[in-house]
């Protein structure tokens, strides 16, 4: 097992850029901000749902596993972790935008 797959599980989430993320969201993908509620309140991408990575996988219970999901955080570390958790929970297509600044 590689280091990456040991952190994120098999089938590591794809990392995408801002234009691709915006296109996916415009086409109906779910945008998830995995930062803390305080960070989210301080500014977030319009339309994003706040599901802090610390609450996963329980926090994902209300999300559709059939929808494309795009996750982001402050620097990219939490979004990568969250994407791996969501994939492990059976979410079919999860993309990691990384930092909010990439939007």
CATH number at residue 85: 3.40.250.10
Is residue 25 within 8 Å of residue 93, measured between CB atoms? Answer: no
In a domain, 62, yes or no: yes
Q: How many domains does the chain have?
A: 1
Looking at 73, 80, 85, 94, which residue is catalytic?
73
Q: Is 73 among the residues known to form the active site? A: yes
- In degrees, to the nearest 5, what angle opens at C-alpha 68 toward C-alphas 66 and 72? 130
Q: Is residue 1 part of a domain?
A: no
Does 2 map to a domain?
no
Positive/negative CA dihedral, 16, 103, 32, 78: positive
Q: Please write the tens of the pLDDT for every residue from 28-52.
A: 999 999 999 999 999 999 999 999 9
pTM of the model: 0.87
Mean pLDDT of 63-71: 96
Is 47 a member of any domain? yes
């Amino acid at each position: 097992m590689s280091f990456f797959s040991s952190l994120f599980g098999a089938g590591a989430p794809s990392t995408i850029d801002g234009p691709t993320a915006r296109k996916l969201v415009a086409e109906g993908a779910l945008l998830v901000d995995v930062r803390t509620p305080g960070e989210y309140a301080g500014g977030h991408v319009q339309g994003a749902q706040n599901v802090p990575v610390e609450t996963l996988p329980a926090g994902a219970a209300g999300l559709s596993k059939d929808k494309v999901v795009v996750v982001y955080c402050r620097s990219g570390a939490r979004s990568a972790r969250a994407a791996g958790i969501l994939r492990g929970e059976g979410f079919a297509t999860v993309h990691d935008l990384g930092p909010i600044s990439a939007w």
